[in-house]
Amino acid sequence: MRTWERSDLAPIIEKALEGEKLSVKEVEELLSSWDLWALGEAANELKKRMYGNVCTYIKNMILNYTNECVVECKFCAFYRRVGEGYLLSPEAAAFAVERLAREKGIRQVLIQGGVNPKVDIEYFETMFREIRKRTPQVAIHALSPVEVDFLSKKHKISVKEVLSRLKEAGMESMPGGGAELLVERVRKILSPKKISVERWLEIVETAHNLGIPTSVTMMFGHVETVSERALHLIKLRELQERAPGSLAFIAWNFEPGNTELARERKIKYPYGGAELLRVIAVARLTFGDLIPHVQAGWLTVGKDVAQLALKWGADDWGGTLYEESVIPATGLKVKFPDEDDVRRWIEGAGCIAKERDNLYRVVE
């Protein structure tokens, strides 16, 4: 008998394994359970039906083009006020991508920064075209819905026009940053200046309708309740049902070091690996194959928990994340791996490591 069949969660898990949609209440019940073995075994069963024992990864870099930001999120240790940080020129940004393409063979650059009033849409168009000219083999995965909203308001043009221009300049896909928790109560505490839940969903839906795929995200372990976590997952599922285009779900825990939120709320420690495993497993059971890929979330929890995540429903390790600057700003010590490290870690978890491209296609 399988572990979940002996669990109180069996009716909900069986429903998910049969491809039926879970309610918010059922997702909340899964997220509230301490029966991690049942959740993990069931989520892994679902993952294996889809991908067998293959787990993918991508060689990529993070390009944090600026750390100056007027949104001033309380959970962020990276941002600086305008005039106190840096802003890369488009040429310097393209040079950084060219260097990593030459040294590491990257296939993707993830471009995100702050909401910096010094930049405009022409800045990104110039940057993207320069990257495409120098490194056409590197896909541009760029700008969060928050940054897109800023450009729309700055230029007094529609989100559709912003995204169309960025796509024409070379943007292939869009990361789902700025989601945090899609609940207004939580957002007002974390980042009162950030766009609303409705606006975030609208921008991602517009991207999908323009043929720009996205990833969707969740940051947990701060001021949210379990029911709010469940609601977040359901909103992501409903978005995908309305306008398909999200390729992957990525979760990570709030890292409190050097943040205003930690000081205000007296949060001393991040949530442990068990919480990430629970979120990953429940996400797989909630989304099924609707959002096809779930990442292991190695950056904030390290390789050991990420290896477990590959047995808890995750099918993708994520990227090498060369030059990522946001999490190290919290004081967390991060060892950024080379490709050989990632392959060894995936295989150490009993999986078959396969390199992929920006659109999650195996390239070997």
For residue 12, give both structure tokens: 């909900």
What one-character DSSP code corresponds to residue 300? H
What one-character DSSP code corresponds to residue 323? T
For residue 18, give both structure tokens: 């049969």
Is 128 marked as binding a ligand? no
**For residues 306 and 35, what is the distance between their CA atoms, to the nearest angstrom?**
19
**For residues 362 and 60, what is the distance between their CA atoms, to the nearest angstrom?**
15
Look up tokens 């996205």; give the residue: 214
Q: Which amino acid is at 3?
A: T
Alpha helices by DSSP H, 182-324: 184-190, 197-209, 226-242, 260-265, 273-287, 298-301, 303-309
For residue 253, give both structure tokens: 């825990």
Are 148 and 162 spatial neighbours (Cβ–Cβ below 8 Å)? yes
Are 28 and 230 spatial neighbours (Cβ–Cβ below 8 Å)? yes
Is 55 marked as binding a ligand? no
- Residues 6 or more apart whose CB falls under 8 angstroms from that of 171 comprise 128, 140, 141, 142, 143, 163, 212
Is 191 marked as binding a ligand? no
Which H, E and C letters describe 130-191, residue by residue?
A: HHHHHCCCCEEEECCHHHHHHHHHHHCCCHHHHHHHHHHHCEEEECCCCCCCCCHHHHHHHC
**For residues 198 and 157, what is the distance between their CA atoms, to the nearest angstrom?**
18
For residue 26, give both structure tokens: 């059922």
Binding residues: 69, 73, 75-76, 144, 180
Binding residues for (3R)-3-methyl-D-ornithine: 144
Binding residues for S-adenosyl-L-methionine: 75, 180
Binding residues for [4Fe-4S] cluster: 69, 73, 76
